[in-house]
Amino acid sequence: MEIATGIRKKYPVPMIRRLPSYLRIIKSYSYGGIEYISATDIANELGYDSVKVRKDLALTGVCGKPRMGYKVDELIRAIRSIVGWDKNSEAVLVGTGCLGSALLGFTGFSRRGINFAAAFDVDPHKIGMTVHGHTVMPMRGMKNFITERKIEIAVLTVPADAAQETVDILVDAGIKGIWNFSPAILKVPARVVTQNENLMSGLAVFMVKMATESV
Amino acid sequence: MEIATGIRKKYPVPMIRRLPSYLRIIKSYSYGGIEYISATDIANELGYDSVKVRKDLALTGVCGKPRMGYKVDELIRAIRSIVGWDKNSEAVLVGTGCLGSALLGFTGFSRRGINFAAAFDVDPHKIGMTVHGHTVMPMRGMKNFITERKIEIAVLTVPADAAQETVDILVDAGIKGIWNFSPAILKVPARVVTQNENLMSGLAVFMVKMATESV
DNA sequence: CGGTTATCGATATTTTTATATCTATCACGA
DNA sequence: TCGTGATAGATATAAAAATATCGATAACCG
Ligand SMILES: NC(=O)c1ccc[n+]([C@@H]2O[C@H](COP(=O)([O-])OP(=O)(O)OC[C@H]3O[C@@H](n4cnc5c(N)ncnc54)[C@H](O)[C@@H]3O)[C@@H](O)[C@H]2O)c1
Ligand SMILES: NC(=O)c1ccc[n+]([C@@H]2O[C@H](COP(=O)([O-])OP(=O)(O)OC[C@H]3O[C@@H](n4cnc5c(N)ncnc54)[C@H](O)[C@@H]3O)[C@@H](O)[C@H]2O)c1
């Protein structure tokens, strides 16, 4: 496929956000020994419009056959390639609190190419503890750890007040991307990628839906 | 539709998703004793376009003053009202695993009107344990608990395979809304609201950004 | 073997969201 | 007291995304 050779298309963000759901359905077909899947199948499973799915799948570069659909294993390979889940990256987790511990314990990351090389925290009570197989390390050693191991990804689960100071260390250490679960907006140089995950946005939408529904 | 306080508008989802971030900034002004905040201020803090912010704020119904901005406490009240964070709701959490425990430990929910009345799990080893002040209860008692206490909200953090069977119980018990953190798509009657939180979508976007940045 | 039909892929249309432009307002400072 | 300029709010434009339409294809069935 073209993607591997260096030509990088620009994919619409809403489409990228749907890819993991597509992948989940397609994989379930694969496990079931089914060789082809149609856009209609996926749309039905997810409650989407089939044209939207077909357009998304077209962007993956996989060609479908009329009356048959798309080859399951081709789609899986293409989607995993687009979202980068076909290669492995090491990551550090900063802030081994409630949410940080949950992420450390999530088994799904390794299947998606993310492996936690270390977990850090400032809290002396937490340092030395083992959380889901990871020993919590002091912040002091973080910068060197990242630099020496050439870690590119940081998952940030510290309180909002501590976010920027933590980010400054990460950037200084040469981190390439920060997946930020704190509500703070991070100031980083242009070369550093950030992805903000604001769980409270989802709660807000949920509550508004509930209110409008129950009138 | 008419309710006691007035007419319920339809708000654009992207706007709703931004409200929590706005609220965070506005509150920080409030704590700092600042009385007015402008759309430009908020836009600068969040890296947004000021016109977008102004349009969002216009939808809240709060009027601004030229050269001054909007009254901080009016905005806070309006936004909290829109996202329903000005009233309290009881919720149950189902699936007290990694992520479920993290959510139980998150102190931010009570400030947003969500209080966990109970946490449930199937795992006999977990039942009876105390997680962040909540005793884990067996699934057996869940339906009655929800019905008797008239609980309207469920937070779902079970594995994907267990999601639908769990949802069926919740719906049967009369739940009004399900905040779903599993990647499964839930089948519910039309009267039940669902909000799917797919963390892997964020990861996908993050990885694609990383890949495109590093070309 | 030939008609039927589910499906793809392309194109067109509509809707939604973001961004740009313009004018009126009014606090502020000269 | 009088400009000045930051800002709201309205309107206009552009961009993005979702949705609808339609012809071409080829597996399937009789
Ligand atoms: N827990 C949730 O369900 C949840 C939900 C939504 C958002 N969040 C956000 O995720 C972040 C973490 O939430 P949490 O519930 O895990 O909080 P938490 O207090 O349990 O965990 C934060 C951890 O960060 C550590 N920490 C604090 N300052 C640090 C620093 N300077 N350097 C390194 N580590 C530091 C603390 O010692 C603690 O272990 C917060 O920003 C919160 O808003 C959490
Ligand atoms: N942990 C994470 O960071 C994370 C990230 C993204 C998505 N998720 C999703 O959240 C969900 C939970 O993930 P997790 O990491 O907490 O898994 P987990 O295995 O730690 O927790 C799941 C819990 O649900 C319980 N459970 C299983 N079947 C049940 C049933 N039928 N009824 C009630 N309880 C049941 C289990 O006993 C367990 O305690 C999964 O769907 C996962 O895909 C988790």
pLDDT in tens, B88-113: 999 999 999 999 999 999 999 999 99
Asked if strand D contacts A47 at the CB level, meaning under 7 A, the answer is no
Confidence of residue A8 (pLDDT cuts 50, 70, 90): low
Checking if the pLDDT of B4 tops 90, the result is no
Asked if strand C contacts B12 at the CB level, meaning under 7 A, the answer is yes
Asked if strand D contacts A13 at the CB level, meaning under 7 A, the answer is yes
Q: State what percent of residues in chain B have pLDDT above 90.
A: 94
Count CB atoms within 10 A of the CB of residue A35.
Answer: 12
Chain B residues closer than 8 Å to A106 by CB: 98-99
> How far does the CA of A179 sit from the C1' of D8, in Å?
35
Asked if strand D contacts A58 at the CB level, meaning under 7 A, the answer is no
Mean pLDDT to the nearest integer, A175-179: 98
B191 alpha carbon – ligand 1 mean position (Å): 35
Contact A192, A171 (CB under 8 A): yes
> How far does the CA of A30 sit from the C1' of D27, in Å?
21
Are A16 and B82 within 8 A, CB to CB? no
Asked if strand D contacts B75 at the CB level, meaning under 7 A, the answer is no
Chain A residues closer than 8 Å to B19 by CB: 204
Ligand 1 atom showing the smallest separation from residue A99 Cα: 16
Tens of pLDDT, residue by residue over A33-58, are 999 999 999 999 999 999 999 999 99
Shortest-distance nucleotide from B43 CA to C1' = D7
Could you give all domains of chain B from N- to C-terminal order, each with its CATH number? Answer: 2-82 (1.10.10.10), 89-201 (3.40.50.720)
pTM of this prediction?
0.96
Are A202 and B199 within 8 A, CB to CB? no
Rounded distance, CA A53 to CA A46, Å?
A: 10
- Residue A10 has a pLDDT of 87
Chain A residues closer than 8 Å to B177 by CB: 206, 209-210, 213
In order of A167, B98, B121, the CA distances from B131 in angstroms are: 30, 11, 12
Sheet holding B153-156, edge to edge: B130-131, B134-138, B114-121, B89-94, B153-156, B177-180, B193-196
Instruction: Specify the residue with its C-alpha closest to ligand 1, atom 25.
Output: A95
Confidence of residue B78 (pLDDT cuts 50, 70, 90): very high
A47 alpha carbon – ligand 2 mean position (Å): 23
B166 alpha carbon – ligand 2 mean position (Å): 12
Mean pLDDT to the nearest integer, B48-57: 97
Rounded distance, CA B102 to CA B95, Å?
A: 11
Tens of pLDDT, residue by residue over B163-215, are 999 999 999 999 999 999 999 999 999 999 999 999 999 999 999 999 998 77
Two structure tokens written together for B161: 């395979």
In order of A109, A111, B73, B140, B167, the CA distances from B97 in angstroms are: 16, 19, 39, 18, 17
Rounded distance, CA B25 to CA B40, Å?
A: 12
Q: State what percent of residues in chain A have pLDDT above 70.
A: 96
Two structure tokens written together for A198: 């604001």
For chains A and B, CB pairs below 8 A equal 165
Cβ–ligand 2 contact at B126 (below 6 Å):
yes
Chain B residues closer than 8 Å to A17 by CB: 198, 201-202, 204-205
- Residue B141 has a pLDDT of 96
Q: How far off is chain A from B101, nearest CA to CA, in Å?
A: 7
Mean pLDDT to the nearest integer, A91-120: 98
Confidence of residue A214 (pLDDT cuts 50, 70, 90): confident
Mean pLDDT to the nearest integer, A115-129: 98
